[in-house]
Amino acid sequence: MNTNNNMLAAQEEQSLDPVTYIEYVIWEKNKKEKGGATEVERLENFLKTKFEFRYNTVTGVLEYRTKPVEGKSFKVIKDRDETTIWRLIQKRISSSEDKGTFSLSYLRNLLNSDFTTSYDPFNEYILALPSWNNNTDYIDQLANTVKTDNDKLFRKCLKVWLVATVGSFIKPEIINHTALIFSGKQGIGKSTWMLNLAPKALKGYVYTGTINPDNKDTLIHMATNMLINLDELENLNSTEVGAIKEIITKPNIKLRRPYGRNTEEMPRRASFVGSVNSAQFLNDSTGSRRFLCFESLEIEYNHGVDMDKVYAQAYALFNQGFKFWLDLEDIAELEANNSKFQRSTVEEDLVLEVFQPAKEGDAACLFYTTTQIARYVADSTTGFQVNNATIKRLGSALKKHGFKTYKRSGSQKYAVMLKQTQSSTLEESEVGKVG
Protein backbone atom coordinates (compact mmCIF):
# COMPACT_ATOMS: atom_id res chain seq x y z
CA MET A 1 0.00 0.00 0.00
CA ASN A 2 2.79 2.42 0.96
CA THR A 3 4.67 1.38 -2.18
CA ASN A 4 1.71 2.34 -4.37
CA ASN A 5 1.35 5.71 -2.63
CA ASN A 6 5.05 6.39 -3.09
CA MET A 7 4.80 5.49 -6.78
CA LEU A 8 1.87 7.88 -7.26
CA ALA A 9 3.75 10.63 -5.46
CA ALA A 10 6.82 9.99 -7.63
CA GLN A 11 4.73 10.25 -10.80
CA GLU A 12 3.28 13.60 -9.69
CA GLU A 13 6.77 14.85 -8.81
CA GLN A 14 7.88 14.31 -12.40
CA SER A 15 5.08 16.61 -13.65
CA LEU A 16 6.35 19.59 -11.61
CA ASP A 17 8.42 22.31 -13.23
CA PRO A 18 12.15 22.40 -12.18
CA VAL A 19 11.81 25.19 -9.63
CA THR A 20 8.73 23.68 -8.04
CA TYR A 21 10.41 20.26 -7.97
CA ILE A 22 13.47 21.62 -6.18
CA GLU A 23 11.26 23.37 -3.62
CA TYR A 24 9.33 20.15 -3.16
CA VAL A 25 12.52 18.14 -2.58
CA ILE A 26 13.63 20.67 0.04
CA TRP A 27 10.24 20.36 1.73
CA GLU A 28 10.53 16.56 1.81
CA LYS A 29 14.08 16.79 3.15
CA ASN A 30 13.03 19.17 5.93
CA LYS A 31 10.15 16.92 6.81
CA LYS A 32 12.37 13.87 7.32
CA GLU A 33 15.31 15.48 9.07
CA LYS A 34 15.16 15.74 12.82
CA GLY A 35 15.21 19.36 13.86
CA GLY A 36 14.06 20.44 10.40
CA ALA A 37 11.09 22.67 9.51
CA THR A 38 8.10 22.75 11.82
CA GLU A 39 4.75 21.39 10.71
CA VAL A 40 3.49 24.87 9.80
CA GLU A 41 6.70 25.71 7.92
CA ARG A 42 6.55 22.46 5.98
CA LEU A 43 2.97 23.14 4.99
CA GLU A 44 3.74 26.75 4.05
CA ASN A 45 6.73 25.70 1.94
CA PHE A 46 4.67 23.16 0.07
CA LEU A 47 1.77 25.55 -0.59
CA LYS A 48 4.22 28.14 -1.94
CA THR A 49 5.52 25.62 -4.48
CA LYS A 50 2.06 24.97 -5.89
CA PHE A 51 -0.06 28.07 -5.36
CA GLU A 52 -0.19 31.82 -4.99
CA PHE A 53 -2.71 33.11 -2.44
CA ARG A 54 -4.04 36.54 -1.57
CA TYR A 55 -6.69 38.00 0.75
CA ASN A 56 -9.08 40.51 -0.81
CA THR A 57 -9.58 43.21 1.85
CA VAL A 58 -12.61 44.62 0.02
CA THR A 59 -14.64 41.42 -0.30
CA GLY A 60 -13.09 39.63 2.67
CA VAL A 61 -12.48 36.42 0.71
CA LEU A 62 -9.41 34.37 -0.18
CA GLU A 63 -8.27 34.06 -3.79
CA TYR A 64 -5.70 31.78 -5.42
CA ARG A 65 -4.09 30.66 -8.65
CA THR A 66 -1.87 27.68 -9.42
CA LYS A 67 1.79 27.86 -10.38
CA PRO A 68 3.20 28.60 -12.86
CA VAL A 69 1.04 31.74 -12.72
CA GLU A 70 1.74 33.20 -16.17
CA GLY A 71 -1.55 33.94 -17.93
CA LYS A 72 -3.65 32.79 -14.98
CA SER A 73 -6.14 34.92 -13.08
CA PHE A 74 -6.90 34.71 -9.39
CA LYS A 75 -10.07 32.85 -8.43
CA VAL A 76 -12.11 32.86 -5.24
CA ILE A 77 -11.35 29.81 -3.11
CA LYS A 78 -14.51 27.74 -2.83
CA ASP A 79 -15.19 24.74 -0.59
CA ARG A 80 -14.27 22.27 -3.34
CA ASP A 81 -11.01 24.12 -3.98
CA GLU A 82 -10.10 23.87 -0.30
CA THR A 83 -10.69 20.13 -0.17
CA THR A 84 -8.77 19.62 -3.43
CA ILE A 85 -5.76 21.46 -1.96
CA TRP A 86 -6.11 19.47 1.27
CA ARG A 87 -6.18 16.19 -0.72
CA LEU A 88 -2.99 17.17 -2.52
CA ILE A 89 -1.32 17.83 0.85
CA GLN A 90 -2.36 14.40 2.16
CA LYS A 91 -0.86 12.70 -0.88
CA ARG A 92 2.48 14.33 -0.09
CA ILE A 93 2.61 12.95 3.45
CA SER A 94 4.50 9.66 3.65
CA SER A 95 5.48 9.48 7.31
CA SER A 96 2.91 7.77 9.53
CA GLU A 97 3.66 10.19 12.35
CA ASP A 98 2.33 13.04 10.19
CA LYS A 99 -0.99 11.35 9.45
CA GLY A 100 -3.88 13.60 10.48
CA THR A 101 -1.62 16.57 11.27
CA PHE A 102 -2.68 18.64 8.28
CA SER A 103 -6.46 18.62 8.68
CA LEU A 104 -8.81 20.73 6.59
CA SER A 105 -9.33 23.13 9.50
CA TYR A 106 -5.53 23.32 9.90
CA LEU A 107 -5.29 24.40 6.26
CA ARG A 108 -8.10 26.95 6.62
CA ASN A 109 -6.51 28.51 9.69
CA LEU A 110 -3.21 28.86 7.87
CA LEU A 111 -4.76 30.45 4.78
CA ASN A 112 -6.71 32.90 6.95
CA SER A 113 -3.54 34.09 8.69
CA ASP A 114 -0.89 36.58 7.58
CA PHE A 115 0.63 33.76 5.54
CA THR A 116 -1.69 35.07 2.84
CA THR A 117 -0.82 38.49 1.42
CA SER A 118 -3.54 41.16 1.73
CA TYR A 119 -4.44 43.32 -1.22
CA ASP A 120 -6.95 46.08 -1.96
CA PRO A 121 -8.20 45.83 -5.58
CA PHE A 122 -9.41 49.45 -5.66
CA ASN A 123 -6.18 50.90 -4.34
CA GLU A 124 -4.05 48.68 -6.56
CA TYR A 125 -6.08 49.59 -9.63
CA ILE A 126 -5.52 53.31 -9.13
CA LEU A 127 -1.82 52.99 -8.27
CA ALA A 128 -1.18 50.83 -11.35
CA LEU A 129 -2.67 53.36 -13.78
CA PRO A 130 -0.35 55.18 -16.20
CA SER A 131 0.32 58.80 -15.30
CA TRP A 132 -1.99 61.44 -16.76
CA ASN A 133 -0.29 63.66 -19.34
CA ASN A 134 -1.66 66.83 -17.64
CA ASN A 135 -3.02 67.94 -20.97
CA THR A 136 -5.79 65.80 -22.46
CA ASP A 137 -9.09 66.21 -20.63
CA TYR A 138 -10.44 62.65 -20.70
CA ILE A 139 -13.16 63.51 -18.18
CA ASP A 140 -14.41 66.20 -20.55
CA GLN A 141 -14.36 63.65 -23.38
CA LEU A 142 -16.54 61.39 -21.25
CA ALA A 143 -18.91 64.25 -20.43
CA ASN A 144 -19.28 65.01 -24.14
CA THR A 145 -20.80 61.57 -24.71
CA VAL A 146 -23.97 62.82 -22.99
CA LYS A 147 -26.06 65.80 -24.07
CA THR A 148 -27.96 67.14 -21.08
CA ASP A 149 -30.21 70.06 -20.24
CA ASN A 150 -27.25 71.75 -18.52
CA ASP A 151 -23.96 70.60 -20.06
CA LYS A 152 -21.79 73.11 -18.20
CA LEU A 153 -23.02 72.02 -14.78
CA PHE A 154 -22.90 68.36 -15.83
CA ARG A 155 -19.20 68.61 -16.72
CA LYS A 156 -18.46 70.20 -13.35
CA CYS A 157 -20.49 67.63 -11.38
CA LEU A 158 -19.09 64.64 -13.29
CA LYS A 159 -15.54 65.75 -12.49
CA VAL A 160 -16.41 66.22 -8.81
CA TRP A 161 -18.07 62.79 -8.69
CA LEU A 162 -15.12 61.01 -10.36
CA VAL A 163 -12.44 62.63 -8.20
CA ALA A 164 -14.44 61.85 -5.05
CA THR A 165 -14.73 58.24 -6.23
CA VAL A 166 -10.97 57.99 -6.67
CA GLY A 167 -10.42 59.63 -3.29
CA SER A 168 -12.52 56.91 -1.65
CA PHE A 169 -10.24 54.29 -3.27
CA ILE A 170 -7.11 55.87 -1.80
CA LYS A 171 -8.21 57.05 1.64
CA PRO A 172 -10.81 55.15 3.70
CA GLU A 173 -11.96 58.34 5.42
CA ILE A 174 -13.05 59.89 2.11
CA ILE A 175 -16.53 59.07 0.82
CA ASN A 176 -18.44 60.26 -2.22
CA HIS A 177 -21.35 62.30 -0.84
CA THR A 178 -23.24 62.60 -4.12
CA ALA A 179 -25.17 60.34 -6.50
CA LEU A 180 -25.13 60.94 -10.26
CA ILE A 181 -28.69 60.66 -11.63
CA PHE A 182 -29.96 60.68 -15.23
CA SER A 183 -33.56 61.41 -16.17
CA GLY A 184 -34.76 60.76 -19.70
CA LYS A 185 -36.69 58.65 -22.14
CA GLN A 186 -36.63 54.89 -21.74
CA GLY A 187 -34.23 52.96 -23.96
CA ILE A 188 -31.68 55.69 -24.70
CA GLY A 189 -28.87 53.99 -22.75
CA LYS A 190 -28.94 55.74 -19.37
CA SER A 191 -28.20 52.64 -17.28
CA THR A 192 -25.62 51.29 -19.74
CA TRP A 193 -23.68 54.57 -19.65
CA MET A 194 -23.80 54.59 -15.86
CA LEU A 195 -22.58 51.00 -15.54
CA ASN A 196 -19.73 51.75 -17.94
CA LEU A 197 -18.35 54.15 -15.34
CA ALA A 198 -16.81 51.06 -13.77
CA PRO A 199 -13.44 50.36 -15.45
CA LYS A 200 -12.88 46.92 -16.92
CA ALA A 201 -10.62 45.84 -14.05
CA LEU A 202 -13.37 46.57 -11.49
CA LYS A 203 -16.47 45.33 -13.33
CA GLY A 204 -16.91 42.67 -10.67
CA TYR A 205 -17.50 45.33 -8.02
CA VAL A 206 -20.82 46.72 -9.27
CA TYR A 207 -24.28 46.20 -7.77
CA THR A 208 -27.63 47.11 -9.31
CA GLY A 209 -30.77 46.92 -7.19
CA THR A 210 -32.74 48.42 -4.36
CA ILE A 211 -31.05 49.42 -1.13
CA ASN A 212 -32.31 49.59 2.43
CA PRO A 213 -30.27 51.09 5.29
CA ASP A 214 -31.75 48.54 7.71
CA ASN A 215 -30.76 45.59 5.52
CA LYS A 216 -27.44 43.83 6.16
CA ASP A 217 -27.01 43.01 2.47
CA THR A 218 -27.21 46.71 1.61
CA LEU A 219 -24.44 47.50 4.09
CA ILE A 220 -22.27 44.75 2.61
CA HIS A 221 -22.85 46.11 -0.91
CA MET A 222 -21.77 49.57 0.27
CA ALA A 223 -18.51 48.20 1.67
CA THR A 224 -17.63 45.73 -1.09
CA ASN A 225 -18.57 47.51 -4.34
CA MET A 226 -17.15 50.52 -6.14
CA LEU A 227 -20.47 51.37 -7.82
CA ILE A 228 -24.10 50.98 -6.77
CA ASN A 229 -26.73 51.58 -9.45
CA LEU A 230 -29.89 52.62 -7.62
CA ASP A 231 -32.97 50.81 -8.88
CA GLU A 232 -36.59 52.04 -8.91
CA LEU A 233 -35.70 55.56 -7.79
CA GLU A 234 -38.88 57.06 -9.20
CA ASN A 235 -41.06 54.72 -7.13
CA LEU A 236 -39.63 55.75 -3.76
CA ASN A 237 -41.61 57.76 -1.24
CA SER A 238 -40.17 60.69 0.69
CA THR A 239 -39.15 58.50 3.64
CA GLU A 240 -37.25 56.13 1.33
CA VAL A 241 -35.56 59.03 -0.47
CA GLY A 242 -34.49 60.36 2.93
CA ALA A 243 -33.06 56.94 3.76
CA ILE A 244 -31.02 56.96 0.54
CA LYS A 245 -29.63 60.39 1.42
CA GLU A 246 -28.59 58.97 4.78
CA ILE A 247 -26.87 56.03 3.09
CA ILE A 248 -25.02 58.25 0.61
CA THR A 249 -23.40 60.13 3.49
CA LYS A 250 -22.68 57.08 5.68
CA PRO A 251 -18.92 57.03 6.44
CA ASN A 252 -18.31 53.45 7.53
CA ILE A 253 -19.98 50.10 8.01
CA LYS A 254 -19.99 47.97 11.16
CA LEU A 255 -21.15 44.39 10.72
CA ARG A 256 -20.18 40.76 10.84
CA ARG A 257 -19.53 39.31 7.41
CA PRO A 258 -21.34 36.12 6.38
CA TYR A 259 -19.64 33.19 8.13
CA GLY A 260 -17.44 35.65 10.03
CA ARG A 261 -16.97 35.38 13.79
CA ASN A 262 -16.15 38.99 14.66
CA THR A 263 -17.75 42.35 13.92
CA GLU A 264 -15.69 44.47 11.53
CA GLU A 265 -15.60 48.18 10.80
CA MET A 266 -15.24 48.68 7.06
CA PRO A 267 -15.02 51.88 5.01
CA ARG A 268 -18.00 52.89 2.87
CA ARG A 269 -16.44 52.41 -0.57
CA ALA A 270 -19.34 52.55 -3.01
CA SER A 271 -20.27 55.56 -5.11
CA PHE A 272 -23.86 55.89 -6.29
CA VAL A 273 -25.53 56.37 -9.68
CA GLY A 274 -29.10 55.97 -10.90
CA SER A 275 -31.51 56.65 -13.72
CA VAL A 276 -35.23 57.38 -14.01
CA ASN A 277 -37.70 57.73 -16.85
CA SER A 278 -39.93 60.41 -15.32
CA ALA A 279 -38.74 63.98 -15.01
CA GLN A 280 -40.05 64.57 -11.47
CA PHE A 281 -38.81 61.97 -9.02
CA LEU A 282 -37.39 63.93 -6.08
CA ASN A 283 -40.04 64.03 -3.38
CA ASP A 284 -38.06 65.09 -0.33
CA SER A 285 -38.61 68.74 0.54
CA THR A 286 -35.56 68.90 2.83
CA GLY A 287 -33.11 69.43 -0.04
CA SER A 288 -31.55 67.54 -2.92
CA ARG A 289 -27.87 68.47 -2.87
CA ARG A 290 -26.87 64.79 -2.61
CA PHE A 291 -28.36 64.13 -6.05
CA LEU A 292 -26.59 65.38 -9.19
CA CYS A 293 -29.65 65.33 -11.45
CA PHE A 294 -29.58 65.88 -15.20
CA GLU A 295 -32.04 65.33 -18.01
CA SER A 296 -30.22 63.24 -20.59
CA LEU A 297 -31.29 64.18 -24.11
CA GLU A 298 -28.84 62.07 -26.11
CA ILE A 299 -26.40 59.41 -24.88
CA GLU A 300 -23.49 57.77 -26.67
CA TYR A 301 -23.45 54.78 -24.35
CA ASN A 302 -21.04 52.67 -26.44
CA HIS A 303 -18.40 55.39 -26.44
CA GLY A 304 -14.74 54.63 -26.92
CA VAL A 305 -13.43 56.81 -24.10
CA ASP A 306 -10.67 54.96 -22.22
CA MET A 307 -11.93 54.76 -18.63
CA ASP A 308 -8.44 53.93 -17.35
CA LYS A 309 -7.29 57.32 -18.65
CA VAL A 310 -10.38 58.96 -17.14
CA TYR A 311 -9.49 57.57 -13.72
CA ALA A 312 -5.81 58.39 -14.20
CA GLN A 313 -6.80 62.03 -14.72
CA ALA A 314 -9.13 61.93 -11.71
CA TYR A 315 -6.29 60.52 -9.58
CA ALA A 316 -3.93 63.26 -10.76
CA LEU A 317 -6.54 65.92 -9.94
CA PHE A 318 -7.02 64.37 -6.50
CA ASN A 319 -3.28 64.58 -5.83
CA GLN A 320 -3.25 68.18 -7.07
CA GLY A 321 -5.83 69.16 -4.44
CA PHE A 322 -8.89 69.36 -6.68
CA LYS A 323 -12.03 70.25 -4.69
CA PHE A 324 -14.11 67.06 -4.88
CA TRP A 325 -17.03 68.42 -2.85
CA LEU A 326 -19.68 71.09 -3.42
CA ASP A 327 -19.37 74.46 -1.71
CA LEU A 328 -22.33 76.72 -0.88
CA GLU A 329 -22.30 78.37 -4.29
CA ASP A 330 -22.22 74.99 -6.03
CA ILE A 331 -25.07 73.72 -3.85
CA ALA A 332 -27.23 76.73 -4.70
CA GLU A 333 -26.61 76.15 -8.41
CA LEU A 334 -27.37 72.44 -8.05
CA GLU A 335 -30.56 73.01 -6.04
CA ALA A 336 -31.80 75.41 -8.71
CA ASN A 337 -31.04 72.84 -11.40
CA ASN A 338 -32.73 70.08 -9.38
CA SER A 339 -35.96 72.04 -8.91
CA LYS A 340 -37.31 70.73 -12.21
CA PHE A 341 -36.95 67.18 -10.90
CA GLN A 342 -38.74 67.91 -7.62
CA ARG A 343 -42.24 66.56 -7.13
CA SER A 344 -44.52 69.15 -5.59
CA THR A 345 -46.06 68.32 -2.24
CA VAL A 346 -49.74 68.71 -1.43
CA GLU A 347 -48.86 71.66 0.80
CA GLU A 348 -46.87 73.26 -2.02
CA ASP A 349 -49.75 72.96 -4.49
CA LEU A 350 -52.26 74.36 -2.00
CA VAL A 351 -50.21 77.37 -0.94
CA LEU A 352 -49.47 78.30 -4.56
CA GLU A 353 -53.17 78.17 -5.40
CA VAL A 354 -53.82 80.91 -2.87
CA PHE A 355 -50.68 83.00 -2.42
CA GLN A 356 -47.89 84.56 -4.42
CA PRO A 357 -44.66 86.15 -3.16
CA ALA A 358 -44.77 89.81 -2.21
CA LYS A 359 -42.24 92.44 -1.28
CA GLU A 360 -42.29 94.89 1.58
CA GLY A 361 -44.03 98.01 0.34
CA ASP A 362 -46.38 96.29 -2.11
CA ALA A 363 -49.87 97.71 -1.72
CA ALA A 364 -51.52 94.31 -1.28
CA CYS A 365 -48.74 92.83 0.86
CA LEU A 366 -49.75 90.88 3.95
CA PHE A 367 -47.48 89.40 6.60
CA TYR A 368 -48.22 85.96 8.07
CA THR A 369 -46.41 83.21 9.91
CA THR A 370 -46.25 79.71 8.48
CA THR A 371 -48.82 78.57 11.05
CA GLN A 372 -51.24 81.34 10.08
CA ILE A 373 -50.90 80.40 6.42
CA ALA A 374 -51.48 76.75 7.30
CA ARG A 375 -54.69 77.64 9.13
CA TYR A 376 -55.97 79.59 6.16
CA VAL A 377 -55.22 76.67 3.83
CA ALA A 378 -57.02 74.32 6.24
CA ASP A 379 -60.09 76.58 6.33
CA SER A 380 -60.31 76.61 2.55
CA THR A 381 -59.38 72.95 1.90
CA THR A 382 -61.34 69.89 2.95
CA GLY A 383 -59.27 67.30 4.77
CA PHE A 384 -56.13 69.41 5.31
CA GLN A 385 -54.81 68.98 8.83
CA VAL A 386 -52.62 71.55 10.58
CA ASN A 387 -49.80 69.79 12.42
CA ASN A 388 -46.04 70.09 12.80
CA ALA A 389 -45.37 68.04 9.66
CA THR A 390 -47.67 70.06 7.37
CA ILE A 391 -46.40 73.35 8.81
CA LYS A 392 -42.82 72.24 8.13
CA ARG A 393 -43.65 71.26 4.54
CA LEU A 394 -45.47 74.56 4.00
CA GLY A 395 -42.39 76.42 5.21
CA SER A 396 -40.19 74.47 2.79
CA ALA A 397 -42.59 75.26 -0.07
CA LEU A 398 -42.61 78.96 0.76
CA LYS A 399 -38.81 79.12 0.82
CA LYS A 400 -38.51 77.10 -2.38
CA HIS A 401 -40.73 79.52 -4.30
CA GLY A 402 -39.02 82.67 -3.13
CA PHE A 403 -41.35 83.93 -0.41
CA LYS A 404 -39.38 86.39 1.74
CA THR A 405 -39.62 86.81 5.50
CA TYR A 406 -39.64 90.05 7.47
CA LYS A 407 -39.71 90.69 11.20
CA ARG A 408 -43.13 91.86 12.27
CA SER A 409 -44.53 92.07 15.83
CA GLY A 410 -41.48 90.27 17.20
CA SER A 411 -41.57 87.27 14.86
CA GLN A 412 -40.55 86.34 11.33
CA LYS A 413 -43.46 86.47 8.89
CA TYR A 414 -43.78 85.79 5.18
CA ALA A 415 -44.71 88.59 2.80
CA VAL A 416 -47.61 87.26 0.71
CA MET A 417 -50.31 88.45 -1.63
CA LEU A 418 -53.58 86.77 -2.45
CA LYS A 419 -53.79 85.63 -6.03
CA GLN A 420 -56.39 87.44 -8.13
CA THR A 421 -58.37 84.23 -8.53
CA GLN A 422 -59.27 84.42 -4.84
CA SER A 423 -62.68 86.06 -4.56
CA SER A 424 -62.39 86.77 -0.85
CA THR A 425 -59.83 88.48 1.32
CA LEU A 426 -58.15 87.15 4.41
CA GLU A 427 -59.96 88.11 7.55
CA GLU A 428 -57.84 88.89 10.58
CA SER A 429 -60.05 86.66 12.64
CA GLU A 430 -59.13 83.71 10.45
CA VAL A 431 -55.37 83.87 10.45
CA GLY A 432 -54.34 86.36 13.08
CA LYS A 433 -53.58 90.02 13.09
CA VAL A 434 -51.51 91.61 10.37
CA GLY A 435 -48.06 92.53 11.68
Q: Is 230 exposed, middle or buried (0-12, 13-18, 19+ CB in 10 A)?
A: buried
The answer on 232 and 287 residing in a single domain is yes
Per-residue pLDDT band at 362 (split at 50, 70, 90): confident
In the chain, the amino acid numbered 236 is L
Same domain, residue pair 248 and 229? yes
C-beta separation of 275 from 301 below 8 A: no
User: In the predicted model, is pLDDT for residue 14 greater than 60?
Assistant: no
pLDDT confidence of residue 31: 53
How many Å apart are CA 55 and CA 114, to the nearest integer?
9
Asked if residue 358 and residue 331 are part of one domain, the reply reads: no
Q: Are residues 274 and 196 in the same domain?
A: yes
Q: List Cβ neighbours of 111 (8 Å cut-off, separation of 6 or more).
A: 53, 62, 77
Provide the pLDDT confidence category of residue 285 given band limits of 50, 70 and 90. low
Residues 90 and 219 in one domain: no
* Whether 7 and 38 share a structural domain: yes
pLDDT number for residue 232? 73
Q: Are residues 363 and 421 in the same domain?
A: yes
Edge-to-edge strand list for the sheet holding 117-119: 75-76, 61-66, 51-56, 117-119
Q: 168-205 pLDDT, tens per residue?
A: 999 989 999 999 999 999 999 999 999 999 999 999 99
**pLDDT at residue 180 in the model:** 97
Residues 11-19 have a mean pLDDT of 53
Domain boundary among 70, 94, 119: 119
Which of 274, 307, 341 is where one domain is finished?
341
Provide the mean pLDDT of the chain: 84
Q: How many domains does the chain have?
A: 3
**pLDDT higher than threshold 70 for residue 426:** no
Q: Are 242 and 286 in contact (CB under 8 A)?
A: yes
User: Which residue range is the domain that position 55 belongs to?
Assistant: 2-119
Cβ atoms of residues 355 and 418 within 8 Å: yes
pLDDT digits (tens, 9 = 90+) for 35-91: 456 778 888 988 999 999 999 999 999 999 999 999 999 999 999 999 999 988 888
User: The domain spanning residue 260 has which CATH number?
Assistant: 3.40.50
Tens digit of each residue's pLDDT (9 = 90 or more) over 146-172: 999 999 999 999 999 999 999 999 998
What is the reported pLDDT for 325? 95
| Residue 33 shares a structural domain with residue 129 | no
Q: What mean pLDDT comes out for the span 400-427?
A: 78
Whether 16 and 82 map to the same domain: the answer is yes
Query: What whole-number percentage of the chain has pLDDT above 70?
Result: 85
What is the pTM for the complete model shown? 0.76
Shared domain for 70 and 129, answered yes or no, is no
pLDDT: is 241 or 417 the higher one?
A: 417
Q: Are residues 336 and 350 in the same domain?
A: no
* 130 and 221 share one domain: yes
Report the distance separating Cα 173 and Cα 350, nearest Å.
44
Which of 239, 248, 249, 340 has its CA nearest to residue 293? 340
Give the pLDDT score at 433: 40
**Strongest mean pLDDT among 92-101, 155-164, 208-217:** 155-164
Strand order in the sheet with 179-183: 146-148, 291-299, 179-183, 271-276, 227-230, 206-209
* pLDDT for 16: 55
User: What mean pLDDT is predicted for residues 361-381?
Assistant: 86
Q: What is the pLDDT of residue 402?
A: 84
